[in-house]
Structures are given as C-alpha cells and as structure tokens.
Chains A and B, each alone.
Chain A
Amino acid sequence: MTTDFTSPQKQAPIGILMMFLATLKDLFKVFWVVFIVAVLKSDNTNSLYLLTGFVLLIGITGLISYLKYVNFTFYIDEEKNEFIIHTGVINKTKTVIQLNKIQQVNVNQDFIQQFIRVYSLDIETAGSESKEVEIKAISHELALALKEKLIHGKVVPKTEGALAEQYQSATEEPFIKISFWSLFKIGITSNYMKSLGLIFAFFFTLYENISHVLGDDELENGPLGTFIAKGLAFNAVMMFVAFLMLGVLLFNLVRTVIRYFGFKITKQNGTLVLNFGLINIKNSIVRPERVQIVSVSRNYFQKKLNIFQLNIRQAMNGEKDQRKTAMEIPGCDENEKNQILMLLFNELPTQGLMVTPNFRKLVFSAFLSVFLPVLGYFLIGKYQDSRVYDFYGIAVFYCVLTAVLLWFGFRNYRLFINEKYIVKQSGAWDIENKIIEIHKIQAVSTSQLFWHKNLNIGSLTLHTAAGNLSFYLGNYTTINDYVNRWLYLIETSDSNWM
C-alpha cells in the first residue's frame, strides 16, 4: 500500500470488474425493453444469433473496461500544487485541477462498489471552466489518504494504521447521530409533493414502456383502459386519492430511510463530515467557510414532533450543480440544530428587525394562482366543453385550498435583518428560514415597477455563490437603507467569503 501520489497511479485492479458491471448496468438501463422484447420474440432459429450477440456485447464491454482502466491514471504534482488525471482510450484527456481550487472531495460507495469493496472519489471545484472529476474504483485507505491530501495539501500519515485510527476515531464519536425514529418522523411528514411527482413519473414511464412493447391499441382496449375510463366515477376517484396518499406516505418513508439511514455528522478539523445511506453509502464534507446559505425548515407536524430539516448550500459552479452542492440534514431536534448552526456560524443567528411584504404581494399571487385559472376554467366551460362545470366541486376545492395556502404563505413571508445575518422566512406549509451572512453577499440588486414608485415598494435580490435570496414588495426606503448599509459592511471588511 502506497500513499505516495506523486507518481502516476492506476485505480484498484478490481475496478475493471466494477467498470464492467457499471457499463452493463447503464446498457441495461437504456436497452432493457429491447432485451426483453428480443428474448420474448426469439424462436429457435435466431436464438443462436441472440446468444452470440450477448457474448459479443459482454466481451466488448469487458475489453472497453480494461482499456479504460489501463488508460486512467492520476497523480499529484507537488511543485505546481496540481492534481492531474489522464483519461481516455482513443481521445486522451488530461485534466488538471489546482489543489487550492478544490471545493469538496466526496468518498462514496454505491451498490456495486459495496459488493466488490471499492470506493469512488469525486472532486468538486470552484471556477467556471472546471469539470467534475471522478475516480471510480479506489480502495478505502487510498481514498481517505488522497482526500486528506487533496483537501489539506499536507503530508498524510505514512502508516496505514495511523490513518485507519484517525478515521476510526472520527467515526466513533459522531457529534450528531440521527436515529431511525427521527428518520421515520421526517419520512411521514415531508416531501409530499416531491414523492407524488416521483410516483407519477414512475407510473408514466411504466405506462409508456408497456405501451411501447404491447402497442397502444391493446392498452386502451385492455383492462387497464377500461379501468381508466371507469375511474372517472367519483367513488373511484376517492379510492384513488386515498391509495395515492397512502402510497405517497409509504414511498416517502422508504425513500427517506434508504437515503439517509444511519446519518452521522462528525467534526473533523473544523469541518463537518456527513455519512449516510443504506444502499449507497455517501460521505461528504461541509466546510463552514464555504457555506453560503443555510436553510432551516419545518412544517406543522414537524413542529409538534420537534424536528427540523436543514439544508446547507456551499459555493457552486453553475446552476445545474445546485442540487448536488446542497446538503440535506434530515430530522434533527432543536438542540442538534443549534449545535450545527453554532459550528457553522460560531453563534446562533437571531432574527432581528422584521420587514413585511406589502399586501399587493398577496393580491398579485392570488391573481396568478386563483384568478387566472378560474378565468381559464370559465372560458373552457363557455367556449369549449360545458361538461367541465360538472366538476365545479374540484374548482371550489382548488380555490379554497390555494387561497388558504396563499394567505399563510403571505403571513409567513418575512425578512429579518440583523447585524451579521439576513434571514428570509417563507412558505405556507413547510416554513423555511434561509440564513445568509452579510459578508457572503456577492452582488445586490433591487427592482421597482414604475407604478410602485409612489407607493414606495420594491423588491430585493441578494446574490450569493450558492444562489439568490429574493424578497418581493417590501418598503423600498427600508430596503435601500439596508442595501447601503450592507454595501458599507461588505466594502469595508476584508473577510473572506469562501
């Protein structure tokens, strides 16, 4: 075992197997329908061709995996402080990452990797042109040593034992451990809409794939089609809704538990190390100085159960990476939440002066999400198909629900301004508090519609390296006062935002 990264290294040899399996998995993901159809429709005459095809496919995949393995090397250039990776079988690529640009190093293990006991290591960097880099198969010791070296740029302990010990001591005393019970509580109280969307997406893909294989006619005239036609009956709708709700709850619960099982947070040299996952074990690092936005959210049920959800966003490259750099900490109680905030900010942000939105914000959102849809409903009823009036119950239900949500959303919409922090509270059901530190602001923009000039209301957007924080239709004089004040604070201090 060597922890010397100055000379070019290959991945763990077992990685060939891993890449082989991963490529097969990807192939199967894309072509599973084709495979199944091929197997189902084959008779004796062409089954030989089919078999040869499969064998060839597997052989080629194996060869490609081997060539990829041979051509993948990485090393650290200590003089230039760069991490260099060579990849590519035909097109050779050399990726150079400056060590001080590295934002985050994650050591993960997915299902296949767990099976053959290797880890993957991926590197996230700051800077517009840099790409994300991943080493797919690396042993645990090597992964940790490389991670240590990449992040701290200092000499790693040479002996394997010491390293293992260091890691052990880190894993042995996690300062926050989220119990199965907390995950259970979060699972049944959050992400209803997201799960609903995922379930719909799942059924839609299933439906589409089935209809591809069977053909559309069969599906529409078959039992499923009749079911859908009959399903319009009111009772069936109610049944469907009940099933859906139950499905969402169960799905949510399973998803949360699988994703976050055994969630542990460990303190390590002033950084937070997060470990979690049942099938895919993830390990990622949060460095307090890189944290840009922290949001704390909870809904009514979660308030009764005394749990919070935390979301930590670190500096990122582009919009598309936003989800990746956001760290979710599900289900911690008041005390644990405060401990995490203490570690990130060295104090507990207080809310401070409150700015409330103008009532026009409520009027505007009501116009968008109640008035326009209702107008559309009546227009369709009048000019297209008067049968939509049969469903007036749904329309009334929608209006009442949206109105209530909007009202609570408006009541919770607040901006709190403090000496060092800005906290934006929003949300109707899930009430979210987004906290940013003033010195992490990159740019400020304000906006005012011309007919709001005399009313003295306007909007504010604070840009940080991890996304924007906007507050619409507040008192414009107050907003401008604080903008001037924040600019003063930013421009007179040298504090590093990252």
Chain B
Amino acid sequence: MGNFTNEPIDLSQLPRYETLSFSSLHPSYWKVMVINIAMFFVLLTTGAALGIIFDAEIRENTFFLIIALIVLLVLVIIFARLSFCKRGYVFRNHDVIYRTGIIATNTVIIPYNRVQHVALHEGFVARFFGLAKVEIFTAGGKGSDIQIPGIEKDKAEDIKQLLMGKIQKQL
C-alpha cells in the first residue's frame, strides 16, 4: 500500500443513502400517467371495436374481449399507481438518487462529479401540467442514467442549473 493513507472514518458515521426520505413526484404527474394510459386504451378499444364490427369470429367473443380489456385497464391502473407511489428522488450535496420499481426496488446513485450532461425533456401531455423530465447522463453505459419525470418546470430548470454549475466547477 506504500504511501497510501486513509483517514480513519467510521462507516456508521457516513451519511446513509438508504435511510433518506425521498421526495415523491409532483401529484399532477399522476394525471399525466392516467392520460397517457387513457390514450393507449382509446387506441386499443378502437382496434377491438373495429375487430368486433368487421370480424364475425371476434364478434362472437365480444363479451370476453370487453372483460379482458376491463381487467387489463384495472391492472395497468393499479400498477401505474403503485409505480407512481414508489418513485422518489433526492438531490444531496454531492449526488442525486432516484428510486423506482414495484417488484424490485431499484436505486441509482450518481455523484455530481461523474455527471456528463443534463437535459430537460417536456412531454406533450406533461407540458399542459407545467411538468418536465430531468435527464442526467453519465459515461457509464447501460442503466447508469437517471430520468426523473414529474418535476415542476421551474424547479426542473433550477435543478438543471444547479447540476450544470456543479459540472462547471469541476472543469
């Protein structure tokens, strides 16, 4: 180990990422998700309706088709709600943390001094609610980027400025 010294630090004294309280996404983002799901189901129902009108075989099973669509819709809504509740983010002094996942809880942590660039993305629906998505990229490949949706536009802009400032300082 040669001249390598390491100041004694107590592991238990270090700030712990796993016990932080995460900020949840903006409540309006739930509406955005619902609208997106609704648009998807409008397409799906249209398809099913066309099938019922033009195909005799499908017409015979109209009842099952409708039941299937309703079950699917309920499931998608439940999972979307769970997913919405489970997502959370924290901007700490030195890193950003994003948590997602229903079955598995995934947490991605990016230290600011490893951020390559930051982008703001405003989705079509989200724009009506004044929401934006903050995208944070690193040089680490697959799965190492963070995309936090459902942040108020002004706040997202502030976050972007903050991160850009941190990146600039390092250069």
Shortest A419–chain B CB gap in Å is: 6
A442 and B139 contacting across the interface, CB-CB below 8 Å:
yes
Question: Which residue in chain A gives the minimum CB-CB distance to B86?
Answer: A450
User: A463 touches which one: B1, B16, B103, B144 (CB < 8 A)?
Assistant: B144
Query: Chain A contacts of B14 at CB under 8 A?
Result: 484-485, 488
B4 and A485 contacting across the interface, CB-CB below 8 Å:
no
Shortest B13–chain A CB gap in Å is: 10
In the docked arrangement, what's the CA distance between A487 and B2, Å? 24
Query: Chain A contacts of B112 at CB under 8 A?
Result: 491
Question: Which residue in chain A gives the minimum CB-CB distance to B109?
Answer: A444
In the docked arrangement, what's the CA distance between A441 and B108, Å? 13
In the docked arrangement, what's the CA distance between A447 and B109, Å? 12
Is the C-beta of A305 less than 8 angstroms from some C-beta in chain B?
no
Size range of the chain B interface in the assembly: 35 or more
Shortest A447–chain B CB gap in Å is: 5
In the docked arrangement, what's the CA distance between A446 and B101, Å? 11
Instruction: Bits for A455-498, please: 1 = Cβ < 8 Å to B, else 0.
Output: 00000010111011000000000001101110110110010011
Query: Chain B contacts of A484 at CB under 8 A?
Result: 11, 14-17
Question: Which residue in chain B gives the minimum CB-CB distance to A319?
Answer: B141
Is the C-beta of A443 less than 8 angstroms from some C-beta in chain B?
yes
A445 and B107 contacting across the interface, CB-CB below 8 Å:
yes
A443-B104 contact, Cβ under 8 Å, with A487-B95, A491-B94? no
Shortest B67–chain A CB gap in Å is: 28
Query: Chain A contacts of B62 at CB under 8 A?
Result: none
Query: Chain A contacts of B17 at CB under 8 A?
Result: 480, 483-484, 487
A487 and B94 contacting across the interface, CB-CB below 8 Å:
yes
Instruction: Bits for A321-359, please: 1 = Cβ < 8 Å to B, else 0.
Output: 000000000000000000000000001000000000000
A461 and B141 contacting across the interface, CB-CB below 8 Å:
no
B94 and A445 contacting across the interface, CB-CB below 8 Å:
no
Instruction: Bits for B78-115, please: 1 = Cβ < 8 Å to A, else 0.
Output: 00000000000000001100000101111111111110
User: B108 touches which one: A444, A448, A487 (CB < 8 A)?
Assistant: A444
Query: Chain B contacts of A443 at CB under 8 A?
Result: 108-111, 114, 138, 140, 144-146
A487-B109 contact, Cβ under 8 Å, with A463-B141, A468-B141? yes
Tally A residues with Cβ within 8 Å of B.
36
Query: Chain A contacts of B139 at CB under 8 A?
Result: 126, 315, 442, 465, 497-498
Shortest A489–chain B CB gap in Å is: 9
Is the C-beta of B60 less than 8 angstroms from some C-beta in chain A?
no
B94 and A464 contacting across the interface, CB-CB below 8 Å:
no
Query: Chain A contacts of B145 at CB under 8 A?
Result: 443
Is the C-beta of A30 less than 8 angstroms from some C-beta in chain B?
no
In the docked arrangement, what's the CA distance between A449 and B106, Å? 9
Shortest B133–chain A CB gap in Å is: 18
Is the C-beta of B168 less than 8 angstroms from some C-beta in chain A?
no
Instruction: Bits for B110-122, please: 1 = Cβ < 8 Å to A, else 0.
Output: 1111100000000
Instruction: Bits for B15-57, please: 1 = Cβ < 8 Å to A, else 0.
Output: 1111000000000000000000000000000000000000000
Shortest B135–chain A CB gap in Å is: 13
User: B143 touches which one: A126, A463, A497 (CB < 8 A)?
Assistant: A463
Question: Which residue in chain B gives the minimum CB-CB distance to A450?
Answer: B103
A447-B101 contact, Cβ under 8 Å, with A461-B143, A481-B11, A487-B95? yes
In the docked arrangement, what's the CA distance between A442 and B144, Å? 8
Residue of A126, A419, A468, A484 with most partner-chain B CB within 10 A: A484
Can you give 14 A-B contacts (C-beta < 8 A)? A318-B141, A347-B1, A447-B107, A450-B105, A463-B140, A465-B139, A468-B142, A468-B144, A484-B14, A485-B14, A487-B17, A487-B94, A488-B15, A491-B111
Using CB atoms and an 8 Å cutoff, list the residues of chain B in contact with chain A.
1-2, 4, 6, 9, 11, 14-18, 94-95, 101, 103-114, 138-146, 170
The 5 A-B residue pairs with the shortest CB-CB distance in the complex, in nearest-first order: A463-B140, A442-B140, A463-B144, A491-B94, A443-B144
- Given A443-B108, A490-B114, A491-B94, 7 new contacts (CB under 8 A): A315-B139, A441-B114, A442-B138, A443-B140, A447-B101, A447-B107, A450-B105
